[in-house]
Structure 1
């Protein structure tokens, strides 16, 4: 039998866990982790040819230098799995007043998520950037690990309900604590990697950037998971102490 206080804590913790999972899933699947705002493109013919080439290489090419330059100069947005740019609907430069702008997106392939980064993007014979390489890989893996831990915790919770035992809730809380740390680590790795990319890039003149709403969703999911973990751990430990005292009283 579970006390009403502990049952309430379990219900609130489950709701927080569900919200955190939804927020993190939406954040991972969207491309608004980071956004760039560039100056309007000039109507110079040579510049138009350059921008059109950027758009074509952004869609077709896979090198970090090409898609980073396009992000900086074409109002790009960057996510964990997606990169997008804003281009004229009719794909014609120079731009004319009133031209509709559309978003063109390209997904990162699995090999791209694990590719080696370099101190100077695009220079494949140069020095490797080990830190940025592992930051990029971690920002891809950590949210998957976080969601996996929450799913495992949910399975354990269901089994605990079927067995009418609150003891496994302690392990559910620990899993949610680890999930929250992974979610927070995802945001930290992403921001650190972006900062290193900016320092290694030569396109600072075009860069006006800010964090996007997808990143904030991931950032919100971390404390929600930790709050759920605290409720689960408190309910499990408090119930265990109460049960031990009742047992000792009955024996006495």
Structure 2
């Protein structure tokens, strides 16, 4: 038998866990982690129509080169995510040239080998040597959210088993798994920000954090709050059960 306080804590924790999972899943699948704002105005613009077309072709179909696609995103106000890199290009128009064409986003996904590719001290220059810090931060920002989602999925299985067994004891494990998932979500954001800061050492690079990053950031405290509720319910229920057993024996 579960007290109403514990049942309420379990329900609220489950809702928080669901919200955190949805937020993290949306953040991982979208590309709005970082928005580039481009270079300052130039009296002789370098991104003319022909040059822009070449940049777009190289970005979409060229070889994977960190410096090349980073510069292109900077020039064309692109966005960067954990799985996607995007640029803004004029959308398809009619035969006449519009004075203010509508812009559309063109995206390319990072393949699995690209996610595990080595990073160099000078982006795009293999002779500069591998930058181990950036390499492992990039890999961690890719792996940690997947680990967090896997932990939440495992905790949900443990929770279902607890419901079937009509026991609150496994809830302690559910809380620990949610705590680890929250730490993984927080680690994802930290690795992304640190890796981005190491990549763009040039202070002239301008940009802003996107809503996808904030969703991932919000999911971490939600998972930790859910973990705290699960741990409290399990611990309090165990104390009450122990006291009740001792009273009956006495």
Pairwise mapping of residues 1-252 of structure 1 onto structure 2 (< 5 A)? 1-38=1-38, 47-61=48-62, 62-90=64-92, 97-199=99-201, 205=204, 207-252=205-250
1:41, distance to aligned residue in structure 2 (A): 8.0
Change in CA separation of 1:44 and 1:223 when aligned onto 2, cut-off 3 Å: closer
The DSSP-based 3-state class of the residue aligned with 2:106 is: strand
Note the alpha carbon deviations across 1:70-106, whole angstroms, 9 max, x for none: 1111000000000110012249xxx862222111100
Does structure 2 conserve the Cα–Cα contact (< 8 Å) formed by 1:139 and 1:187?
Answer: yes
CA distance in 2, matches of 1:63, 1:70: 11
Which consecutive residues of structure 2, in runs of 5 or more, have no partner in the other structure?
A: none
- Preserved CA contact (<8 Å) 2:32 2:212: yes
| 1:101-156 Cα deviation digits (max 9, x unpaired) | 11110000000100000011111222111000000000000000000000000000
Contact 1:169 1:233 (C-alpha < 8 Å) held by counterparts: yes
4+ runs deviating over 6 angstroms = 40-43
- Contact 1:42-1:48 at 8 Å conserved across structures: no
TM-score (norm 1): 0.92
Gaps of 5+ in 1: none
The alignment covers a number of residue pairs equal to 245
